[in-house]
Structure 1
Amino acid sequence: MTGVRGAGVVRLSGLNALKRLVAPFAAVALLTASVGQAVGQVTPQEIQQSAAPPATPQLVANDVNAWLDGFMPYALSNADIVGAVVTIVRDGQIVANRGFGFSNLETRTPVNADTTLFRPGSISKLFTWTAVMQQVEAGKIDLDADINTYIDYEIPAYNGQPITMRQIMTHTTGFQEVVHDLISSDPTTGEMALGDYLKNNIPSRIYAPGTMPAYSNYATSLAGYVVERVSGESFNDYLQRHIFDPLGMRNSTFRQPLPEAMQASMSGGYKNIADGEAQYFEIVVPAPAGALSTTGADMALFMNAHLNNGAGLLRPETARQMYETVDQQFPGVNSMLLGFYQESYGGQRIIAHGGDTSFFHSNLSLLMDQNVGVYVSFNSGGSGSLGATLLRWEFMESFVNRYFPSAPTSDPEPLATALEHGAAVAGDFESARRAGTNPLAAVYFLGQTTVTMLPNGDLVGPGLPDVNGEQKHWREVEPWVWQALGGTERMGARVDESGRVTAIAFEPLAFAIPASRAPWYRSKSLLLPLLGIAVGVLALSLLSWPIRTLTRRAHKGAFVYEGARAKAHRLTPVVALLSVGYIVAWALFVTWLMDSLDKNSGGLASGLLTTLYVAGILPVLAFAGAALVNVSLWRAPSSWFAKGWGLLVLLSAGIVLWFAAAMNFLSFAFNY
């Protein structure tokens, strides 16, 4: 149990809860591992040995496999995940390469870590970065040159500043997030030339290059295209000849759709066990950012190469440049390296990369000082509080705590600056990895992080919830650096010259997905309640019209309004219908679009988007109509209630128009 001092809250650590629940299974696994040993007479010495405290766990095959047998089956069941692969290497050797659960739920085909293909998503980027560094080593790429030097189209400069390969590798290009043509179920999209995708989907820039980490799939694909251009080979051919073949990775490919010979080995991707339906093979159109299909055994080869200073792929000095070049944008938190990013568990020096497609969720971590690599991949998103996203980090934390335990620490006391700095941080923050110029801004608006301060200066709100679904509490441990109570994650703040906090970065996403302070006109704490009130007022106005009409007819009453007052009465529900209908239409469209990234490819989404853009005249007409209603009410004899309600309708129509402008619903931007 961890007491959160000053918050009046006592919460159970998700990791401790998981350990308690897993412990019986681990014990059974350890007992099972001993089956088959000779059974003879028990001596007093053996009794004494059995009563002795258990030995410190050793990172060897027997112990790791016994631990996995206890941890993984329960974790998959609890998280509603169909199957997983776990690969652990040390000193160039495989310690464990295990499959758990099923690759095909319908046929109950088990996962085979040697042959079953998983999609590790953005872990694919590590192969792209390795290819880039090979070309840096060959003298064909300069990390600090204008990227336009290497391509046959132009990335526009931002205020005169070009982007560089170094900024691409540290996710500081300033590109906004784009999802159009990101993932498709149409196999023919896998044949799209990489250059064609890039030229047709250039994102807008929302930050100056080099100033703000903002994770970008587009930028990574641009790096892959540069490799194509300078090497004279297609990206797929390059990886095969310069990475897969040299390492002996015979069951790995970026090709989409899968080559026929590999299709039978592909694991299904699932939402969760409860849904139970295998989903489509995802075509990742910006292939260098996430198209890899691979096995646990092949990932062992890749991890061992990088643990051995890039052996077989890079010169040691080039590999160390990848591992040791830190782009420290925020104080006190894990940051981007050149392609890899930092990860912290138990005080270990870890470089890592995670990856997600719609259905697969993975993580790769290299403990550099221990010469240990850990790869875990799940073929389902799962459900409940412990889905695959959290489980992969819980798994890694449990692994490090078991095999490289650090001394337990207590929660720190608040700094003297906790109240001052906490108050400076409090407010709404939006993801730096966001849409800035298109209507998907609404998704990131709803996902804003609201930071609140407790009476003792602790902060609540930032970061992923723990496995119990509870928000983390953060305590300042250094000036402008906070630590999660009961954990090791840290959060850093960026402060401008005036002392204003402009952005925060919280682990485990601090490396390239920080959050910048939302401007007041796009602040969720302000705009969302106002929108709710506005829609409520307009909905009541809309509903009151048929109710009053039916009531009047039921009682055979006369319509009592004339002239301007009658016009106001009839126009008010029209205003309400236009405003509410417009917001509902956008809500349905965005929900439909984000339900599956596959819908972002093809013409239907673009057609619907065009229709909604044209419909942008509706909230303008509604606001004008509401203004006319108020003019009519004030010119004609009207009650103060009618005049007051008319003003509420006008304000509500104005809020809807404000929301539409803030969410880029009027932008006519098709690059999303």
Structure 2
Amino acid sequence: MSRLVRVAGLMGAALVMAAGIVAGTGGPAAAETPDPLVLRDFFDRRVPELMAAQKVPGLAVTVVDGSGELFTGDYGFADVAAGLPVVAEETAFRTASIAKTFTAVAVLQQVEAGALDLHADVNTYLPGDFRIADAYPGRPVTLHHLLTHTAGFADLWRGDLTTDLTDVLPLKDFLPAFQPDRVYPPGEYVSYSNYGLQLAGYIVERVSGRPFASYMDERLFGPLGMRHSGFVQPSLAAERFPVSLYYGSDPSVLMPLHHPQGGPEGSTGHASAADMGRFLRMLLGGGEYEGVRVLQPSSVDMMLARQAGSHPLLDGAGYGTWQLDRVGPGIVTSYGGDGGAHAQFALVPGRDLGIYVVANGDGSPPEYRSHIRALIVEEFLALVTDTRPDPVPVKGSVTAPPSGDYLTSRHVEGEPMKLLQLAFDRVTVTTAADGTVTTAQPAQPEHRWIPVGDGVYASTEGRDRLGFIERDGEVVGLIFESNPSQAYLLVPAHASPAVRLPIAAGALLVLSTVVVWPVVALVRRLRRRSTGERSRAALIARILAGAVAATGVAYVVFLVGVTADPTVLEFGSWAQNLPLALAVPAAAAVAVFAVVAWARRWWSRAGRVHFTAIALAAGVFLGIAAQYGLVWGL
């Protein structure tokens, strides 16, 4: 579905519902409370349309205000094969990263109790044998950084999943064993970090003296009456409450249940849609739900306020939340996706409204940011809130941002995922003479942007905005307002994947030509001619070169294969880099053999040239792999 079709759909829905969506006169701006009957009409029409279009099997939605539930709907199946329907009150779905909002609540509860300080060094709260590395002296990581994804951690994948439930580590063991590097000074950029929220949850565990999951049951889910919610391994969740299964690109693709490490970041969080309605009412009520207070109003204000951002004029992070001002003023959201589970809530505190949507399928959205849960949330918000005015282009000349490649700040050094991210999660910027900017991303449509001032550009075909990040008067990166959770940082041309990856592909192509050697040898043998080998050393040289080439080709095949299911990399270990590490001394030996081949005149001149090309290609391929940390690993 194109953006134009989406906008047309919104306009049509707005026209149909303008007269009846609210109990009042004058349209959404003057509205007080949406009419529950009209909400039902809207969702009962729109949700099945989108589910069919995107091939999502099950979904639940709830809309609340401070006084109660306005609408709750359940659609489709929690278990397609068994024909079990979604039941909004009872069916628990994985919350994915929305659980980070729960973790933020727990941290702020302990701040209120005086046990934690948002701006103290987190090492203050950790045991003596576990320290967050002092990578930037004088600039420690704090809970404020953890809750706003500004701690500057690398985005480590290795070890996130295990193949055996008994191998799941407690937080006290997992966090020290898989501590990522600090790659940015704290506060420098918003760069999404699961590890940061795991660490925050562990700190709650430490100061409260209770396991994190038990703490959440006692201090959040229990008091709010969220009986179908909790932190529990997905493979065990069905023992506690009715759960949904999860599906891939369509309802025939059943996603496997994995055993995730951690938990406070969302990998083990579960909640029913109705339970999430209670949680949203608590936030709208300033920390209180039906006479039960779990947070002080000042803490809720901190959660919903902008606490950090990569660009001062664009959406940023609260504590466990994100701004959604690009859709309408004052809107706050949280969202997540994890192996078929997709969820999002949005709060409009100025209107005392909240919505939660959860689905159990990846489906087939037209763009990765147009998943059914996001479309439903944004279409609902467009109907009940004021939208931001269309941007006004800057008049006169504009200082053009630099063209080039901008790479994701979610840095994964030393893992195969690093190469996949650089291949797919990057932005190529082209600046035109008229001051407009074009951005291109792999497997995504190009977008054109017009300058609206202060380093901000507005999309010509939608409601997204683009901001260029400056440091000391120089552009160092950019951020899309539709994705405030990460920045894209400008890299020199020689370090761009657009340069390096084609060179690596060319080297791999040269390496693959070693297949001619056994073919030629076989033909010569069949014709009863000499194989051309002058010595045992020459034969060993070719065997070694063939092994290096085969290793490189096999590694790339492995990388291509895991694009279909990147979770394979989350089960990985340092052994994923072992083949390339072993290929390095072999490639060095091949380089020596290339010199010897010319000195001793092995093979024909063409044969020696070919062997030398193989040796050079091996060096180039492994050199580029080493620059991405894929040879020696972590």
TM, length-normalised to structure 2? 0.87
Give the secondary-structure state (helix, strand or coil) at the position aligned to 2:400: helix
Q: Distance in 2 between matches of 1:92 and 1:380?
A: 32
Do the aligned partners of residues 279 and 441 (structure 1) sit closer, same or farther apart at CA in structure 2, a change above 3 Å counting? closer
Name the counterpart of 1:531: 504
Name the counterpart of 2:323: 342
Q: Distance in 1 between matches of 2:515 and 2:303?
A: 62
1:13 aligns with 2:4: yes
Please give the residue correspondences for 1:37-76 in structure 2 after superposition, counting only pairs within 5 Å. 59-76=34-51
Name the counterpart of 1:435: 412
Do the aligned partners of residues 84 and 555 (structure 1) sit closer, same or farther apart at CA in structure 2, a change above 3 Å counting? same
Do the aligned partners of residues 310 and 463 (structure 1) sit closer, same or farther apart at CA in structure 2, a change above 3 Å counting? farther
Do the aligned partners of residues 555 and 458 (structure 1) sit closer, same or farther apart at CA in structure 2, a change above 3 Å counting? farther
Q: Which one-letter code corresponds to 1:475 in the other structure?
A: I
Name the counterpart of 1:177: 155
Name the counterpart of 1:248: 225
Deviation, 1:388, is: 8.0
Q: Which one-letter code corresponds to 1:79 in the other structure?
A: Q
Do the aligned partners of residues 442 and 117 (structure 1) sit closer, same or farther apart at CA in structure 2, a change above 3 Å counting? same
Give the secondary-structure state (helix, strand or coil) at the position aligned to 2:256: coil
Do the aligned partners of residues 14 and 651 (structure 1) sit closer, same or farther apart at CA in structure 2, a change above 3 Å counting? farther
Q: Distance in 2 between matches of 1:449 and 1:223?
A: 29
2:449 and 2:460 in contact (8 A); partners too: yes
1:285 aligns with 2:250: no
Which of 478, 501, 522 in structure 1 is aligned with 2:475? Answer: 501
Q: Distance in 2 between matches of 1:304 and 1:384?
A: 30
Q: Distance in 2 between matches of 1:479 and 1:387?
A: 28
Please give the residue correspondences for 1:84-123 in structure 2 after superposition, counting only pairs within 5 Å. 84-123=59-98
**Deviations 1:51-88 (Å, cap 9, x if unpaired)?**
xx9x9998221111111122111211211211111111
Q: Distance in 1 between matches of 2:599 and 2:453?
A: 60
Which of 250, 256, 259 in structure 2 is aligned with 1:273? Answer: 250
1:539 and 1:576 in contact (8 A); partners too: no
Q: Distance in 2 between matches of 1:285 and 1:645?
A: 48
1:367 and 1:373 in contact (8 A); partners too: yes
Please give the residue correspondences for 1:194-205 in structure 2 after superposition, counting only pairs within 5 Å. 194-205=171-182
1:450 and 1:525 in contact (8 A); partners too: no
1:138 aligns with 2:129: no
Name the counterpart of 2:210: 233
1:480 aligns with 2:455: yes
Name the counterpart of 2:490: 517
Give the secondary-structure state (helix, strand or coil) at the position aligned to 1:167: helix
**Deviations 1:301-328 (Å, cap 9, x if unpaired)?**
1111111222222221222122224213
Name the counterpart of 2:337: 356
User: What runs of 5+ residues in structure 1 fail to find an aligned partner?
Assistant: 2-10, 34-52
Deviation, 1:367, is: 1.4
Name the counterpart of 2:24: none
Deviation, 1:638, is: 8.8
Do the aligned partners of residues 260 and 68 (structure 1) sit closer, same or farther apart at CA in structure 2, a change above 3 Å counting? closer
Deviation, 1:629, is: 1.9
Name the counterpart of 1:585: 554
Do the aligned partners of residues 288 and 487 (structure 1) sit closer, same or farther apart at CA in structure 2, a change above 3 Å counting? same
2:229 and 2:272 in contact (8 A); partners too: yes
Which of 619, 622, 626 in structure 2 is aligned with 1:654? Answer: 619
Which of 197, 203, 211 in structure 2 is aligned with 1:220? Answer: 197
2:54 and 2:364 in contact (8 A); partners too: yes
User: What runs of 5+ residues in structure 2 fail to find an aligned partner?
Assistant: 22-26
Q: Distance in 1 between matches of 2:391 and 2:5?
A: 17
Give the secondary-structure state (helix, strand or coil) at the position aligned to 2:184: coil
Report the count of equivalent residues: 617
Give the secondary-structure state (helix, strand or coil) at the position aligned to 1:531: helix
**Deviations 1:344-391 (Å, cap 9, x if unpaired)?**
344321111111222201111111211111111111111352568633
1:118 and 1:377 in contact (8 A); partners too: yes
2:59 and 2:74 in contact (8 A); partners too: yes
Name the counterpart of 1:150: 125
Deviation, 1:437, is: 3.9
Give the secondary-structure state (helix, strand or coil) at the position aligned to 1:365: strand
Give the secondary-structure state (helix, strand or coil) at the position aligned to 2:94: coil
Give the secondary-structure state (helix, strand or coil) at the position aligned to 2:222: helix
Which of 578, 581, 591 in structure 2 is aligned with 1:616? Answer: 581
Do the aligned partners of residues 346 and 196 (structure 1) sit closer, same or farther apart at CA in structure 2, a change above 3 Å counting? closer
Deviation, 1:19, is: 5.2
Deviates more, 1:488-497 or 1:652-661: 488-497
Name the counterpart of 1:366: 347
Deviation, 1:144, is: 0.9
Give the secondary-structure state (helix, strand or coil) at the position aligned to 1:354: strand
1:166 aligns with 2:139: no
Which of 623, 627, 633 in structure 1 is aligned with 2:598? Answer: 633
Name the counterpart of 2:53: 78
Deviates more, 1:640-649 or 1:193-202: 640-649
Deviation, 1:620, is: 3.6
**Deviations 1:14-43 (Å, cap 9, x if unpaired)?**
5136559x979x98x99xx9xxxxxxxxxx
Which of 519, 533, 542 in structure 2 is aligned with 1:547? Answer: 519
1:490 aligns with 2:465: yes
Give the secondary-structure state (helix, strand or coil) at the position aligned to 1:249: coil
Do the aligned partners of residues 113 and 358 (structure 1) sit closer, same or farther apart at CA in structure 2, a change above 3 Å counting? same
Name the counterpart of 1:50: none
Q: Distance in 2 between matches of 1:560 and 1:594?
A: 42
2:326 and 2:481 in contact (8 A); partners too: no
Please give the residue correspondences for 1:182-193 in structure 2 after superposition, counting only pairs within 5 Å. 182-184=160-162, 186-188=164-166, 192-193=169-170
2:391 and 2:458 in contact (8 A); partners too: no
Q: Distance in 2 between matches of 1:552 and 1:507?
A: 64
Do the aligned partners of residues 326 and 310 (structure 1) sit closer, same or farther apart at CA in structure 2, a change above 3 Å counting? same
**Deviations 1:546-574 (Å, cap 9, x if unpaired)?**
333344445555556758xx977x57754
Q: Distance in 2 between matches of 1:60 and 1:464?
A: 43
Q: Distance in 2 between matches of 1:544 and 1:278?
A: 42
Name the counterpart of 1:310: 287
Q: For the aligned residues, what is the CA RMSD?
A: 3.5
Give the secondary-structure state (helix, strand or coil) at the position aligned to 2:356: strand
Do the aligned partners of residues 620 and 383 (structure 1) sit closer, same or farther apart at CA in structure 2, a change above 3 Å counting? farther
2:467 and 2:481 in contact (8 A); partners too: no
